[in-house]
Structure 1
Amino acid sequence: MKIRVLVADDNSFIREGMRIILHSFEDFEVVATADDGLEAVDYCLTHEVDVALLDVRMPKMNGVEATRRLVEETKTRPLILTTFDDDEYILDAIRYGAGGYLLKNNDPERIRDAIKSVHSGHYVLQDVALDKLKSTMDGASAVPASSPIDRSPFTERELEVMALVAKGYSNKEISGELFISEGTTANYITSILSKTALEHRTQIAIYYLTGKVR
């Protein structure tokens, strides 16, 4: 069965271009296009849509607010598709449950793979999004009170490791920060992945910031 996709963008050239690109792949059926977030949400409330590609800056309702409503009110998975200068919205979009954050200048094959991944329940984040998450977390304490996760399954050290992963630290940087070996850091990450059923460190970062495994 094809993945049902809605494309929402207030730029008609981009909107129709994306529709044509997606129609070139056998994986997708573009069931609708919308030129604002409200129209996108209204359509998804009354039709079955698997993935909604959402621009950030749209009239009536932006892509971040549309993401929040889609996650709360529908089964549609939102995927933010936007430009470099929209990075101020990254954290809110992810916290509201966006399945990913992808730049419009990607190759069609990268966009295709991202939609398929989000449809499968995974997250897709480009480096620019991870860099934004890191800068947002910079200056925060090792285990900030704002993290919405359930802490009970984790040791205090695991929580510290998760917080540093969310800041974008490498295993080497985490080891230096916590004065432990890289092997020990790797073991903590393996334990965290096991306890959360996540697959990689990017998902750990998203989970730590949003409290959502999927």
Structure 2
Amino acid sequence: MSIRLVIADDDVLIRESLKIILSYDKEIEVIDIFENGKDLVDFLLKNTIDIALVDVRMPILNGVKATYEIVKNTKTKVVILTTFDEDEYIREGIRNGAMGYLLKNTKPDKIIETIKIVNNGIAVIQEEILNKLSSNMMDKDNGKEKIDKSLFTERELEVMEAIAEGLSNKEISKKLFISEGTVKNYITSILQKTNLTHRTQIAIYYIKGFIK
């Protein structure tokens, strides 16, 4: 069964190019494209879509606000497209529940790979974006560690570190010599203790502190 996907970007060249590129993959079906966040949200409220590829800067309703509405009201998973200077939007996107974050200059095969990973329920944040966010957080916090490690067991901290490294549940289970089910249980515990909602937030939280 193909991945049902929509694209939202106010740049007609980008959205049409993405539509053509992604349509070449037999596992992806591009259902529609949109030029603003409002039209995107209105469509998703009435249609079952697996993945929404969403630009940050759009008229009427921007990408991060659209993400909030999508995550709150639908089962569609959001992958945000961003430029390198939009880290404030990225942090807001994380809080709003987006599951993927890619730079606009990302190669097509990486975009396709990310779409498939996110469709399987695993959050993906591009390394360049993660590094920039962690660097900015360090600058703002003057290098002070904000995580209260006493909240977590040693194993939970190991799982958080592995998530921050971008490892999947399967890879974490192999690294720590525990079952995937046990990994999931640790992640559930971490989410409850931190009041976060998904893996990407855990990664940012672990690297430089609380994201709420």
Q: Please, what TM-score do these two structures have when normalized by structure 1?
A: 0.72
Alignment correspondent of 1:76 = 76
Q: Any conservation in 2 of the 1:153–1:195 contact (CA below 8 Å)?
A: no
Residue 142, structure 1, aligned to residue 145, structure 2: yes
Write the distance in 2 (CA, Å) between the matches of 1:152 and 1:77: 33
How many Å apart are 1:63 and its aligned residue? 0.4
SS at match of 1:13: helix
Alignment correspondent of 1:17 = 17
Alignment correspondent of 2:203 = 205
Query: Paired residue for 1:195, among 186, 198, 206?
Result: 186
Write the distance in 2 (CA, Å) between the matches of 1:142 and 1:129: 20
Alignment correspondent of 2:152 = 154
Q: Structure 2, unaligned stretches of length 5 or more?
A: 166-174, 177-181, 191-198
Residue 48, structure 1, aligned to residue 48, structure 2: yes
Residue 4, structure 1, aligned to residue 15, structure 2: no
Write the distance in 1 (CA, Å) between the matches of 2:154 and 2:136: 22
Alignment correspondent of 2:193 = none
Q: How many residues align?
A: 183
Write the distance in 2 (CA, Å) between the matches of 1:31 and 1:61: 20
Write the distance in 2 (CA, Å) between the matches of 1:87 and 1:204: 17
CA RMSD, Structure 1 to Structure 2 (Å): 3.5
Alignment correspondent of 1:112 = 112
Write the distance in 2 (CA, Å) between the matches of 1:88 and 1:102: 14
| Cα 1:28–1:158 shift into 2, 3 Å | closer
Alignment correspondent of 2:39 = 39
Opposite residue 54 of structure 2, the aligned amino acid is: L
How many Å apart are 1:23 and its aligned residue? 0.7
How many Å apart are 1:34 and its aligned residue? 0.5
| Cα 1:49–1:158 shift into 2, 3 Å | closer
Deviations 1:152-181 (A, max 9, x none): 97249967x96xx5xx89xxxxxxxxxxxx
Alignment correspondent of 2:194 = none
Opposite residue 6 of structure 2, the aligned amino acid is: L
Alignment correspondent of 1:122 = 122
Question: Percent identity among equivalent residues?
Answer: 47
Q: Structure 1, unaligned stretches of length 5 or more?
A: 146-150, 170-185
Opposite residue 203 of structure 2, the aligned amino acid is: A
Deviations 1:90-131 (A, max 9, x none): 111111111111012121111100000111111111123212
